Chains A and B, each alone.
Chain A
Amino acid sequence: MSLRKLLAAGLAATMFSTTAFAETNITWWHAMGGQLGETVNKIASDFNASQDDYKITPVFKGTYEEALTAGIASFRAGEHPNILQVFDAGAATVIGAKGATIPVEDLLNENGVNFDINDYIAGVRYFYADADGKMIGMPFNSSTPIMYFNEEALEKAGVSAPKTWEEFAETTAPALKEAGYIPMTQSHLPWIFTENFFSRHNLQFATNNNGYDEGVAEININTPEIKAHFTALKEWKDAGLFEWYGTGWGDNQKPFEEGKVAVWLGSSGSFGGLKEKVDFKFSATLLPYWEGVTKEPTQTFIGGASLFAMAGKSAEENKATAEFFQYLTSPEVQYMWHKETGYVPVTEAAYELAKKDGYYEESPAAEVGIQQLQLPAGEWTKGYRMGFYVQIRDVMNREYGRILTGETSVEDAFATIEKESNALLARFAKTQG
């Protein structure tokens, strides 16, 4: 064979192989570690196996904060992934940076995927949407804070899970303490006892329509209801009815898993992990509310994270991203994700599928998160949008820690949070100018 023929054959082979594998490759940066990460990998490989045109590669980037940082740095360097997972507190940063992402609603419509915001369950529809209700981020791992309880502990104390904080303070907690348990812990003070305190009681969290509207929003944190809640928390802690093990999520969850703590407030997405680790019978119920504040408690905000389609990618890659989003929100995939992890299914269809499959009959606790998100909505329950919110949460964590260790008073702490948060919000507004 002459050299020329060999070359031609080689060339033909290369061309043939590229046409045979003309897949579009896209990448997805996420912050799902451990068992959650395995499920993410499964979704990706199932998607790749389901068709030949697109290939998605998920990459684990560490904690939520680290994934966002990596995403921002890579965007500035022009080496960003197609899909970036951004957590609730980081949403304002990404949505604020117009031009960094393609609104998911536009992406799907442009690529011929049917999109109707009403397909999504009520609680997740507008959390990652803009002021006009256009969905910007695709809700992915959506959770909400719920109350887990050790059934044996409650039985031993002769009480049932409390519906209101009044009931907890007067009946449940003293009985649990009497029975030898630490009555309650929680794993995220800003998320559970601040943001969702506002949504559960339908209270306004920030000016300018909870921060959704244009202009400089101010936080409504220095208000009587939440101050009363933290005053009660401190009293409960001093009376041995509540314990706080620092800002770390796991430090507060662990004593519950060990059976020392009877009631733990955590994420509905913790269900899958708890089921594997815990050897006692546990269940879950809705987050309690203060009857003194409202007689008609409302739904809570979603937590967790959403997926953003990043801008600056080719049309083929965007098409692949749209196809993947369509796959991801299909009832079967959502149901699998819900079942494996405990995160809520984000569409009505997936919820129906789980109900029809009889999943909630075998494990009723798995339905609590979605039930809470389906509660009646209020004026202030669709979400909040505040810039530099990661830092605002850090300020809250710091001041709450100081309240609970007795370093400061509730009054001073909330005045500080209000002052520092509003300063951060004003600074954020300048970054957008």
Chain B
Amino acid sequence: MKRASFSNLWMPVLLLLPQVSIIFVFFYWPAFEALKSSFYLQDPFGFSGTFVGLDNYFTLFQNAEYLRISLFTLVFTVCVTFFSLALGLLFAVKADKVIRGASTYKTLLMWVYAVAPPVAGILGVSLFYQGHGLITQLFAFFGHEFVIGVNYYDTGFALIAVSIWKQVPINFIFFLSGLQSVPRSIREAAMIDNRSSSRRFWTITFPLLAPTAFFLLITNITYAMFDTFGVIDVMLRSEPGNNPMTLTYKVYVDGFRGGDLGGSSAQSVILMILVLALTIFQFRLIERRIHYT
């Protein structure tokens, strides 16, 4: 194959420039600033500061609350990722089989995707409202007094439930299109070999969905860690109190609400490293073992 090449250097550079400058302005520059300010403790107005080396990082790892938030973030991410993927897949498989009124079902399952996170948060607040909320009353019916904002675990449950609800539709859309691209001939051949539909699903259909599932796994982890900010902020009504929160929300609480730019920068550098690790994991370890058709 003939390799296309440019006769001089400035043309490719010129063509790359818009993309590179966007990445520079919106990623490299802020990332560098965050890294730099994570080594300082500075006055929020920017008048003065002290170089403290790695102190901001040590302080974080010695802080019991930061460790508790890390643990909650882990539980939160695992629950949100697992349940939103599982429900998305379940709905996709069921909707794929519907013959009459299929598009109505699909639309009903997809519309939530259009709900903005803060709006999802407001819906969550009203559903889980102290004493009056519909889900609160459902819990009361089963004898559990559900109090959001008071009981740590109740609040955590509500945050997880709303975040899952918000994420199921996008998984549903991807899984459904994935299912529809499985060739009919393969399904029919499988049908002759095995009459158990669940066996057929797990041995034939599911492996064929693996590329979709893997892509969604990564996007769902990113969603749970970063994009749930709106839901959390609205549901906690901006009062951290004794409530569970994610590491991303903690960056906001310390940096913006508390005015501790150094400490909060150190936290965002840690998150940056996590995302970097996730990306390396995605490209190096798993992509090799998954066969895209």
Residue positions of A touching B, CB distance < 8 A: 63, 65-66, 68-69, 72, 75-76, 90, 93, 96-100, 244-248, 251, 388, 390-391, 394-395, 397-402, 404-405, 407, 416, 420, 423-424, 427, 430-433
**Any A CB within 8 A of the CB of B96:** no
**Bound: A348/B44 CA distance, A:** 35
**Bound: A245/B136 CA distance, A:** 14
Interface residues of B in 209-249 (CB under 8 A from A): 237-243
Pairs A–B under 8 Å by Cβ, sample size 29: A69-B259, A75-B45, A96-B43, A97-B45, A98-B47, A99-B45, A99-B47, A100-B45, A246-B148, A246-B149, A247-B239, A247-B240, A247-B242, A247-B243, A248-B237, A390-B258, A391-B260, A395-B65, A397-B239, A397-B242, A398-B65, A401-B150, A407-B152, A416-B64, A430-B50, A430-B52, A431-B43, A431-B50, A432-B48
**Any A CB within 8 A of the CB of B74:** no
What residue in chain B is nearest A97 (Cβ atoms)?
A: B45
Per-position contact with A for B1-44: 1 when CB-CB < 8 Å, else 0?
Answer: 00000000000000000000000000000000000000001111
**Bound: A214/B83 CA distance, A:** 54
Q: Of B45, B241, B260, which is within 8 A of A246 by CB?
A: B241
Q: Of A66, A68, A398, A432, which is within 8 A of B241 by CB?
A: A398
What residue in chain A is nearest B62 (Cβ atoms)?
A: A423
Complex interface: chain B residues within 8 A of A400 (CB): 242
Interface residues of B in 48-90 (CB under 8 A from A): 48-50, 52, 59, 63-65
In contact, B49 and A431 (Cβ under 8 angstroms): yes
Residue positions of B touching A, CB distance < 8 A: 41-50, 52, 59, 63-65, 130, 147-152, 237-243, 253-254, 256-260, 262-263
Complex interface: chain B residues within 8 A of A247 (CB): 149, 239-243
What residue in chain B is nearest A424 (Cβ atoms)?
A: B260
In contact, B240 and A397 (Cβ under 8 angstroms): yes
Complex interface: chain B residues within 8 A of A395 (CB): 65
In contact, B48 and A433 (Cβ under 8 angstroms): yes
**Total A-B residue contacts, Cβ distance less than 8 Å:** 118
**Bound: A109/B241 CA distance, A:** 42
Q: Of A97, A416, A420, A427, which is within 8 A of B44 by CB?
A: A97
The binding surface of chain A is classed by DSSP as helix
Q: Of A100, A407, A423, A424, which is within 8 A of B47 by CB?
A: A100
Complex interface: chain A residues within 8 A of B64 (CB): 416
What residue in chain B is nearest A258 (Cβ atoms)?
A: B131
**Bound: A398/B50 CA distance, A:** 29
How far apart are B236's CB and chain A's nearest CB, in angstroms?
A: 9
Known: A405-B242, A424-B260. 7 other contacts (CB 8 A): A75-B46, A99-B45, A245-B150, A246-B148, A397-B242, A398-B65, A427-B263
**Bound: A69/B44 CA distance, A:** 9
**Bound: A21/B46 CA distance, A:** 37
Complex interface: chain B residues within 8 A of A397 (CB): 239-242
Complex interface: chain A residues within 8 A of B49 (CB): 430-431, 433
**Bound: A404/B242 CA distance, A:** 10
Ranked 5 nearest A-B pairs via Cβ: A401-B242, A247-B241, A246-B149, A97-B45, A391-B258
Complex interface: chain A residues within 8 A of B43 (CB): 96-97, 431-432
In contact, B149 and A251 (Cβ under 8 angstroms): yes
**Bound: A366/B63 CA distance, A:** 44
In contact, B259 and A388 (Cβ under 8 angstroms): yes
In contact, A244 and B150 (Cβ under 8 angstroms): yes
Most central of B45, B48, B130, B260 by chain A CB within 10 Å: B45
In contact, A420 and B47 (Cβ under 8 angstroms): no
In contact, A63 and B238 (Cβ under 8 angstroms): yes
Complex interface: chain A residues within 8 A of B239 (CB): 246-248, 397
Complex interface: chain A residues within 8 A of B242 (CB): 247, 397-402, 405, 407
**Bound: A251/B130 CA distance, A:** 8
How far apart are B63's CB and chain A's nearest CB, in angstroms?
A: 7
Most central of B46, B254, B258 by chain A CB within 10 Å: B258
What residue in chain A is nearest B258 (Cβ atoms)?
A: A391
Q: Of B130, B241, B256, which is within 8 A of A69 by CB?
A: B256
How far apart are B7's CB and chain A's nearest CB, in angstroms?
A: 45
